[in-house]
Amino acid sequence: MAVVVLGIGNILLTDEGVGVRAIEALEQDYVLPAGVNVIDGGTCAMEMLEQLENLDALIVVDCVRHGQPPGTPVLLKGEDVPVFFKTKLSPHQVGLCDVLASLRFTERAPKHTAIIGIQPESLALGMDLTPTVAARLPELLAMTVAELRSLGFDVRRRS
């Protein structure tokens, strides 16, 4: 089974970088079994194409505006995922959605996709998360770990 946990976002813009910060913490705090590949995608796109091919599952961790108070996490699966990718709020046009569209066209798209997101408080310039979002980072990690466990992986906290 091949699974990727992909953290995306720009770490120069405070909460925009939460996806990257989350996967950094994931690798630091947990022992991940073989078959789980963690990728710091930053704001890249086509560069990741090959690493995202023919996956059994893709778990994307990102900052998502879903209309809830800042710091509220959200899990998107099933029918919500296409909505996530259809709405490119992003000025970053050549983004992940285009990579996934390319993968669909070449019949190498992930079998399952889940988005684990958190409502940002600030996208101002800076390399640290806002305290509001930083405080909820453990929840984001727990959701990611739960998702991996639901796929049958044995994920353990480092002692």
Partner 1 sequence: MSKRVTIDPITRIEGHLRVDVEVDGGKVKKAWASGQMWRGVENILIGRDPRDAWAITQRICGVCTTVHAFASVRAVENALQLEIPVNAQYIRNMIMLAHAIHDHIVHFYHLSALDWVDVVSALKADPKKAASLAQSLSNWNNNSEAEFKKVQEKLKGFVGTGQLGIFTNGYWGHPAMKLSPEVNLLATVHYLQALEVQRYANKIVAILGSKSPHIQNVAVGGVANPLSVDSQSVLTVERLLAVKEWIDKLDDFIKNVYLIDVAAIGAFYADWTRYGRGITDYLSVPDIPLDGKGTQFALPGGYIEGGKLESHKPIVTFGDKYFVDGVSEAIKHSWYDYAGGNDVSLHPYKGETKPNYTDFQDNGKYSWLKSPTFYGKPMQVGPLSRVLNMLAAGHEPTKKYATAALDLVSSLAGTKVGLDAMHSTIGRHAARAVGCAVQSDELKNQWNLLLANMGKGDLKTYNKPTFPKGEQMGVGFHEAPRGVLSHWVVIDSGKIKNYQCVVPTTWNAAPRNEKDQSGAYEACLLDNPVADPEKPLEVLRTVHSFDPCLACAVHVVDQENNPVVTVKAA
Closest approach of partner 1 to the CB of residue 148, in Å: 22
Q: Which two tokens stand for residue 36?
A: 């789980």
Q: How far apart are CA 53 and CA 107, in angstroms?
A: 9
Q: Which residues 22-41 are close enough to bind partner 1 by CB under 8 A?
A: 39-41
Q: Write down the residue that tokens 């259809």 correspond to.
A: 86
Q: Which of 113, 77, 80, 111 is nearest to 96 (CA)?
A: 113
Q: Which of 64, 80, 87 is nearest to 133 (CA)?
A: 64
Cβ proximity to partner 1: between 87 and 156 the closer is: 87
Cβ proximity to partner 1: between 77 and 149 the closer is: 77
Q: Indicate which single residue of 5, 8, 23, 140 sits in contact with partner 1 (rule: CB under 8 A).
A: 8
Q: Are strands 73-76 and 112-118 parallel, antiparallel or unpaired?
A: antiparallel
Cβ proximity to partner 1: between 76 and 157 the closer is: 76
Go through the chain and tell me how many residues it has. Answer: 159
Residue 9 binds partner 1 (CB under 8 A): yes
Site string for partner 1, 59-88 (x = CB under 8 A): ---xxxxxx------x-x---x--xx-xxx
Spell out the residues 6+ positions from residue 142 whose beta carbon is closer than 8 angstroms to its own. Answer: none
Q: Which residues bind partner 1 (CB under 8 A)?
A: 8-13, 16, 39-51, 62-67, 74, 76, 80, 83-84, 86-95, 98, 101-102, 104-106, 117, 120, 123, 125-127
